Amino acid sequence: MNDSSQRVAIVTGAARGIGAGVATRLAQDGMAVAVLDLDEAACRPVADAITAEGGRALAVGCDVSDPAAVEAAVTRIADELGPPVVLVNNAGITRDNLLFRMGVDEWDAVMNVHLRGAFLMSKACQSYMTQAGMGRIVNLSSTSALGNRGQANYAAAKAGMQGFTKTLAIELGKFGITANAIAPGFIETEMTQATAARVGMSWEDFRAAAAAKIPVGRGGTPADIAATASFFAREEAGFVNGQVVYVAGGPRD
């Protein structure tokens, strides 16, 4: 695939963890990748690693909850890499607390990054996808969408991502654009390490306890999520639309 026909992907929240894994995998699939996160400097190691392997990548700093910042970032990506036709909405944060302790600021922060961010990024990219007659939007949900103690904000946001995905699938399908969601289970990342610290457990004990409940007997990795994103982003996945896949090592309702 030469540069003139190379598809351009944007992965948000790509400075580390799942986002970095997805960005790397899409680059391995032959795409040019915009590695987008709040801090552009934090994105550069991922972008540099892709470039070192012979790929094309661009580190982009952007607050996905800021409409002006999103428009500027997507325009820059289109100018420097090419029109984006693959978008992975992965950016997310946690502000865990029990309902009676949760502040409005903790609720709003999570909603703004997950849902507002996915909305703004999808809106900014869909025109490029429509013009190309092809697009792939992949949204990151979570098994927490099914409910999780201490995560009323996060669970609501991740459930919202599923409804958002299905609506995009209905509205954009006729333009050759599909929208699907991935709902990870326990994935070994910096975020889950932070959760272990928050609940006062060692990472080893926390990981072992999680793995004991998973039918395949292990925690997931960013590569597990990246493999699913890779499938959704392919041209041959064009008849898969509006789906939510739980990548959790076992069945989830």
Residues taking part in catalysis: 154
Based on the number of CB atoms within 10 Å of its own CB, is 163 exposed (0-12), middle (13-18) or buried (19 or more)? middle
What are the C-alpha distances in Å from 63 to residues 10, 106, 215, 236? 14, 17, 37, 32
Provide the strand spans (E) within the chain: 8-12, 32-37, 57-61, 84-89, 135-140, 177-184, 244-247
Question: For residue 68, what are the contacts with CB-CB under 8 A and spacing of at least 6?
Answer: none
Q: What sign does the dihedral 238-239-245-249 (CA atoms) show? A: negative
Q: How far apart are CA 55 and CA 157, in angstroms?
A: 33
Sheet (strand 244-247) strand order: 57-61, 32-37, 8-12, 84-89, 135-140, 177-184, 244-247
Quick one: CA torsion of 152, 115, 163, 216, rounded to 10 degrees?
-60
